[in-house]
Amino acid sequence: MYKFLIVIEKADGNYSAYSPDLPGCVATGNTYEEVKQNMYDAIVLHVNGLVEDDTPVPASQASSEYLVISEPVIA
């Protein structure tokens, strides 16, 4: 079993996604749910390609966190 962080961004009229741990593995979709499914499919394809090429599948190193800024900081 593999576990990878994905980042989903709202684009102009659709959504895009990527995984920081799998460079070049990207997907798009018209909806949030569609891009999640497309990214899942892209990761499966990517990982299968690595395995077929006898290339190690990278361990997930990425993480994410929200930072809360209570007030605007004006420099």
Tell me the pLDDT of the chain (75 aa) as tens digits.
899 999 999 999 999 999 999 999 999 999 999 999 999 999 999 999 999 999 999 999 999 999 998 888 787
Q: Which domain holds residue 17?
A: 1-75
Residue with tokens 């949030």: 32
pLDDT at position 72? 80
Tokens read off for 25: 């593995």
Strand partners of residue 26 = 18
The CATH number given to whatever domain includes residue 22 is 3.30.160.250
pLDDT at position 75? 72
pLDDT at position 43? 98
pLDDT at position 66? 93
Q: Record the pTM.
A: 0.86
Q: How far apart are CA 40 and CA 20, in angstroms?
A: 14
Contact present, 5 and 19 (Cβ < 8 Å): yes
Tokens read off for 58: 């990278």
Domain count, the chain: 1
Residue with tokens 């390609």: 49
